[in-house]
Amino acid sequence: MFQPYAQAVEERLLRYVKIDTQSDESTGAVPSTAKQYDLLRPLADELTALGAADVTVTDYAAVLATIPATVPNADAIPTVAFLAHVDTAPAFSGTDVKPRMHRAYAGGPITYPDAPDLVLDPVGSPYLAKKIGEDIMTASGATLLGADDKSGVAVIMTLAETLLADPSIPHGTIRIAFTPDEEIGKGVLHLTPADLGADFAYTLDGGEAGEISFETFSADKAVVTLTGVSIHPGTAYGKLVNALTWAAKFATLLPEATRTPETTQDRAGFIHLYALTGTAAEAKLSFILRDFEREGLAAHGAVLESVCAALRLAEPRLKVSCQITPQYRNMRYWLEDDTRPLDLAVKALASQGLTPIFRTVRGGTDGSVMTEKGVPTPNLFTGQQDLHGPLEWISIQDMARSVAVCVEIVKLLAA
């Protein structure tokens, strides 16, 4: 049912991952790195060559396109959109990716020519044991692979090719969006429901075959700024208030045992200190706050505020501020009220012999933001595994399965 798509998704992923599209939170630009256009513009050209309509590269670096309906009653059929992001994670290099194919994987460890000590093994990655006989793609060990989320891009592009090449497949109007900067939380920041033009949507950015994600963390970002009293260290006695010293104290006052990423799992949220920068004069601590429930997220923010208050009491000369910025919210809050995309995906999975795997995401997706904006957008699998590092891998057959499920979704909508 899915094998005819395997060659197309493999060829595309091999091509896409060689293009460096790593995003960068520090630039403040849109997109955050100009090199994301090195993939975005060719994707627009590819869609045009396939025959898609309304192909646009927006001023906020999204590629949008339409696959016109093939049925006469298109106005009565909900418009569905498929989204994927082109950027790769800042956490690990995406420069000069050398993809490697492991044909008909026979089991056991996979090694890497550019990192002799690196081993991908079913013991550490249990899903790999289920992929015996399938074609596995990895990188060479010096970079991540970039299947997150270029696999989603390849799946959607193959879906577009399939539908545009065969007008006998019944479907309504379909919208496509390729977006930048998802890895830094800004993927669909500027994408409006009007621009997307869909009644509901799917992000193609998930893992195991059959996986559907309709619940994500709710997320805030927090920046604590400590401004001390700067003075020459030779005459600092009784005068210097070292912002870096107080930043270190701030970190030690956090409830490490129960609220950090390395001490939490399942449905427990966390406070994650991911950057500490500055000088003796001024220091900044950057946090991400995560929880599945609004109340838990607010409690994390209250913890930071309480530590700020404690520092103000301990050293009145120290200026302490805490700025908390909302990022995204658990998509479950909205999808509970509109289950259409979930119901449709379950039927499509069953048609392909796949059992639905409902998985909560200990993170966020572009679908979290689009759902909050009013376009219900759960996340579907592509097969990507062990993300954001050199062990990243994917099964080509899982990607092909993902295409088959998407084709079935659009056919079911038109039935």
Residues labelled as active-site residues: 87, 182
The C-alpha atoms of residue 155 and residue 253 are separated, in whole angstroms, by 46
Helices (H), 176-293: 193-196, 243-252, 256-259
User: How is 358-386 classified by DSSP, letter by letter?
Assistant: EEEESS--HHHHHHHHT----EEE---BS
Listed in sequence order, the residues at least 6 apart from 96 whose beta carbon sits closer than 8 Å to its beta carbon are 20, 142, 143
Are 383 and 136 a contacting pair, CB within 8 Å?
A: no
- State the helix-helix crossing angle for 6-16 and 147-165, rounded to 10 degrees: 130
Best CA proximity match to 392, nearest among 150, 226, 48, 132 = 150
CA distance 305 to 286: 14
9: phi then psi, degrees, rounded to nearest 5: -70, -35
As to burial, measured by CB atoms within 10 angstroms (0-12 exposed, 13-18 middle, 19+ buried), residue 195 is: middle
